[in-house]
Amino acid sequence: MKALLAAVLLAVAPAGPPVEPRPFKAPDLVELTALEPGIRLDVRYARSDNFLGQPVYREARAFLQRPAAEALARAHRTLAGKGYGLMVFDGYRPWSVTKAFWDATPDDKKVFVANPARGSRHNRGCAVDVTLYDLATGRAADMGSGYDEASPRSYVTWEGGTKEQLDRRELLRDALAREGFFVYAWEWWHFDYKDWRDYPVLNVPFEEIGRPPAAAPNLP
């Protein structure tokens, strides 16, 4: 798998995000934990315990476009009244990583990954993979399936869990829906922000977010 991923990452280097002619809002990616310190992170794509088996991010960080980030922070504060907080697996995702995911995923599992020809809502900074954590213990809540689990247990319509698991999924959906997020039918943890169409597909690495543009060289 490591050799395959390395080949995929090399293969995407000459390619780029889809060309979209319509006008967009200027990107304004915000780091979630800077905006709301109570949001916890479990960024598995910065580690090897993910479906690819190795890191694809250099840094364990999570970003969203500012309106989506502010909406997520409000949902986190609302959930505190129920004894829960938000734990984020992923937010903004560079396009090259989406391309790597697509190329490394078998055809019968591609419902779980975005087609890079269109770009994903993660690439626009308007999608978040998120779960609940217990404020009293700090532990991630049992939601009935694992993150990135490619099975029917991940579907929103799955009814095979315990009442507690299904109630937690509903609590998460309701809290985020009130703030303008809607859930992806095949993944209980994936939520798209309502204004995702307003932003372009991006391919900016985490380490470059917020960095001022390089100054033009002085001409003799």
198 domain-assigned: yes
pLDDT tens-digit readout, 30-67: 999 999 999 999 999 999 999 889 999 999 999 999 99
In the chain, % helix, strand, coil (3-state, to 5) comes to: 35, 15, 50
What residues have CB less than 8 Å from 189, skipping those under 6 apart?
89, 129, 130, 131, 143, 147, 154
CB 63 within 8 A of CB 91: yes
Q: What size, in residues, is the chain?
A: 220
| DSSP conformation class of 193 | E
Q: For residue 201, tell me if it sits in a domain.
A: yes
Residue positions annotated with a catalytic role: 187
pTM for this one? Answer: 0.86
154 contacts 188 by C-beta, under 8 angstroms: yes
Domain count, the chain: 1
Helix, strand or coil for residue 197? helix
In this structure, is residue 5 part of a structural domain?
no
The rounded distance, in Å, linking the Cα atoms of 64 and 71 is 10
Domain contains 197: yes
Residue 85 lies in a domain: yes
* 153-168: pLDDT as tens digits: 999 999 999 999 999 9
Whether 95 maps to a domain, the answer reads yes
Q: What is the CATH number of the domain that holds 111?
A: 3.30.1380.10
Q: What confidence category does residue 212 fall into, taking pLDDT thresholds of 50, 70 and 90?
A: low
Confidence of residue 8 (pLDDT cuts 50, 70, 90): very low
Query: Residue 70 sits in which domain range?
Result: 25-208
Q: Is residue 50 part of a domain?
A: yes
CA distance 69 to 132: 16
Q: Is residue 3 part of a domain?
A: no
128-155 tens-digit pLDDT? 999 999 999 999 999 999 999 989 999 9
